[in-house]
């Protein structure tokens, strides 16, 4: 399948990364080391049962952002492929 897609569409960019995933209660952390870009963390609060609510989930994420010392200027809203291509002017 990969060969067929590559031959028909080509390859725009290859993202090479190492990912570690951790959980604390309902909060999931993706820690990625991306070749050519550096280290990133994604914090995802999960509400499987639908009883936590958006506000509490957002509060949980913000608490961990603060604990990690992540500042607003450090937040990224682009994919790794966009960053590698330098395509960070358009909203994803």
Would you kindly state where each structural domain of the chain is located, as residue ranges? Answer: 12-85
Q: What is the pLDDT of residue 87?
A: 78
Write out residues in the chain with pLDDT < 50, as ranges: 90-92
The pLDDT of residue 14: 93
| Per-residue pLDDT, 51 | 92
Domain 12-85 is of which CATH architecture? Answer: Beta Barrel (2.40)
The pair of structure tokens assigned to 74 is: 């450090």
Contact by Cβ (8 Å): 61, 45:
yes
Task: Report the candidate in 20, 34, 29, 89 with the shortest Cα–Cα distance to residue 60.
Answer: 29
pLDDT digits (tens, 9 = 90+) for 54-80: 999 999 999 999 999 999 999 999 999
């Amino acid at each position: 399948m990969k060969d067929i897609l590559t031959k028909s569409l080509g390859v725009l960019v290859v993202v090479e990364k190492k990912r570690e995933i951790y959980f604390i209660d309902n909060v999931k952390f993706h820690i990625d080391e991306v070749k050519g870009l550096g280290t990133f963390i994604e914090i995802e609060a999960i509400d499987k049962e639908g009883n936590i609510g958006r506000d509490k989930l957002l509060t949980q994420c913000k608490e961990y952002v603060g604990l990690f010392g992540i500042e607003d200027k450090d937040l990224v809203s682009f994919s790794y492929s966009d960053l590698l291509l330098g395509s960070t002017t358009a909203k994803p």
